[in-house]
């Protein structure tokens, strides 16, 4: 293996979502552990030097910025093949799952999940059309496919009629060290966002499939039953599709006890996670569910769904609930609030569970597939 071309469109300074985090953690390790390989990073806009992980990285900026279905087609099927002919790589690796249908270079996508197949109603028309037209073709075109859970492997194989032996699982990782910050920092943020009250926290982009509307309704029910001063903090980027979540928030009886904070810097997010009574991540569908592990890393109890990949990731270290049952979610909030021994038990189990998910192992698995 001499040259590896990589789609690095999602390495965006200060804007690493779940897929971008996967790219950063895996590629930074591969570049450093394989100095004999020439990595060609292909961006669709000016890049930050922090993502050029070593002298064996050759960066390229390929026009046009691909942030729209028609531009996806232009970038991957017209701009990219020409660049690949010049580079002559041994393989094209695409951590966000997109491939070119017009190149003979061997290709490996990471198809994290196919939520757009199951929840097309949550996507704008053209985006929905692109994903559900082209991703089945990408899966068939790929020489190998990487995904991030056994659930996603089975989901892709079944719905795209792909031989499961063509699909390899490389779990997401999580940093094993506990975040370090002072009591003063924790108390400062707690006072800033909740006026010193205990709180639940939810982390992740505000997409409808994240099921925040049901979690907010369950929180309202929890407040009615307990009369507690507990607050609910929501951390994550909002999108046009987030309107239903804001509408639900507006209709809550206890909406003043809910704060939607938007995106936060990593350290501030870790501090808030560590100070929370529990992390509520009761999503309808996840190919993995990285916030579950990030909460466990911060020694925070987790409430999550009994659906999709979430039980696979959470193991026995979280409370599992039906995401469609407001009553069941509210009951979990009550249990966490009232039972300190339960909270402590989940914290201890979480410490054990995160040891199963390591970014070094992820990178090694990805490299094994590339080879």
Under 8 Å between Cβ of 200 and 194: no
| Pair 339, 235 in one domain | yes
Using pLDDT thresholds of 50, 70 and 90, give the confidence band for residue 367: very high
pLDDT reported for residue 266: 86
Average pLDDT over residues 63-91: 96
pLDDT reported for residue 92: 98
**Region of residue 97 (phi > 0: left; psi between -120 and 50: alpha; otherwise: beta):** left
pLDDT reported for residue 241: 82
- Of residues 131, 172, 129, the one with CA closest to residue 148: 172
| Pair 102, 202 in one domain | no
pLDDT reported for residue 183: 82
Range(s) of the domain holding residue 119? 3-174+358-370
| Pair 205, 348 in one domain | yes
Residue-wise pLDDT tens digits, 204-256 = 989 999 999 999 999 999 999 999 999 999 999 888 889 999 999 999 999 99
| Pair 119, 56 in one domain | yes
Residue-wise pLDDT tens digits, 172-200 = 999 887 777 888 888 899 999 999 999 99
Checking if the pLDDT of 1 tops 80, the result is no
Q: What's the structural domain count of the chain?
A: 2
**Which of the pair, 326 or 188, is modelled with greater confidence?**
326
Burial class from Cβ neighbours inside 10 Å (0-12, 13-18, 19+) for residue 39 reads: buried
Burial 341-371 (b: 16+ CB within 10 A, else e): ebbeebbebbeebbeebbbeebbebbbebbe
| Pair 40, 18 in one domain | yes
Using pLDDT thresholds of 50, 70 and 90, give the confidence band for residue 101: very high
| Pair 286, 206 in one domain | yes
| Pair 188, 148 in one domain | no
| Cα gap 231→218, rounded to integer Å | 13
Question: For residue 139, how many other CB atoms are within 10 A of its CB?
Answer: 22
Helix (H) or strand (E) holding 94: strand 91-94
| Pair 70, 8 in one domain | yes
| Pair 9, 141 in one domain | yes
| Pair 269, 194 in one domain | yes
Under 8 Å between Cβ of 99 and 142: yes
CATH number assigned to the domain comprising residue 24: 3.40.50.2000
For the chain, what is the mean pLDDT? 96
| Pair 366, 338 in one domain | no
C-alpha distances in angstroms, 207 versus 148, 163, 185, 272?
20, 31, 30, 21
E-state strands within 142-203? 145-147, 167-169, 199-203
| Pair 33, 52 in one domain | yes
Residue-wise pLDDT tens digits, 134-161 = 999 999 999 999 999 999 999 999 999 9
pLDDT reported for residue 15: 79
> Considering the entire predicted model, what is its pTM?
0.93
pLDDT reported for residue 181: 81
Taking the mean position of all CA atoms in its chain, how far away is CA 258? 23
Residue-wise pLDDT tens digits, 327-345 = 999 999 999 999 999 999 9
Structure tokens at 364: 């090694």
Quick one: what percent of the chain has pLDDT higher than 90?
Answer: 90
Residue-wise pLDDT tens digits, 256-296 = 999 999 989 888 999 999 999 999 999 999 999 999 999 99
Checking if the pLDDT of 17 tops 90, the result is no
- Of residues 78, 93, 80, the one with CA closest to residue 39: 93
């Amino acid at each position: 293996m001499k040259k590896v071309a990589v789609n690095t469109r999602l390495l965006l300074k200060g804007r690493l979502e779940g897929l971008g985090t996967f790219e950063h953690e895996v590629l930074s390790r591969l570049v450093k552990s394989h100095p004999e390989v020439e990595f060609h990073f292909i961006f669709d806009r000016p890049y930050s030097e922090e993502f050029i992980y070593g002298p064996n990285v050759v960066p390229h900026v390929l026009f046009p910025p691909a942030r729209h279905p028609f531009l996806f087609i232009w970038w991957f099927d017209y701009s990219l093949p020409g660049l690949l002919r010049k580079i002559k790589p041994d393989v094209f690796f695409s951590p966000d799952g997109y491939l070119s249908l017009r190149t003979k270079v061997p290709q490996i996508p990471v198809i994290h999940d196919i939520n757009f197949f199951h929840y097309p109603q949550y996507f704008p028309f053209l985006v929905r059309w692109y994903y559900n037209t082209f991703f089945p073709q990408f899966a068939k075109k790929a020489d190998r496919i990487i995904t991030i859970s056994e659930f996603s492997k089975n989901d892709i194989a079944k719905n795209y009629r792909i031989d499961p032996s063509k699909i390899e699982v490389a779990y997401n990782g999580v940093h094993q060290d506990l975040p370090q910050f002072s009591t003063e920092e924790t108390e400062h943020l707690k006072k800033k966002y909740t006026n010193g009250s205990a709180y639940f926290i939810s982390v992740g982009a505000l997409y409808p499939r994240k099921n925040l509307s049901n979690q907010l309704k369950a929180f309202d029910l929890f407040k009615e039953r307990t009369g507690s001063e507990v607050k609910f903090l929501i951390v994550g980027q909002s999108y046009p599709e987030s309107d239903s979540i804001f509408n639900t928030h507006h209709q809550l009886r206890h909406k003043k006890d809910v704060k939607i904070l938007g995106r936060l810097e990593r350290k501030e997010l870790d501090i808030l996670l560590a100070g929370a009574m529990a992390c509520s991540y009761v999503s309808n569908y996840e190919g993995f569910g990285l916030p579950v592990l990030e909460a466990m890393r911060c020694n925070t109890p987790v409430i999550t769904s009994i659906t999709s990949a979430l039980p696979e990731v959470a193991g026995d270290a979280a409370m599992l609930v039906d995401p469609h049952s407001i009553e069941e979610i509210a009951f979990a909030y009550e249990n966490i609030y009232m039972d300190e021994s339960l909270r402590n038990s989940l914290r201890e189990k979480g410490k054990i569970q995160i040891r199963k998910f390591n970014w070094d192992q992820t990178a090694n698995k990805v490299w094994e597939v590339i080879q």
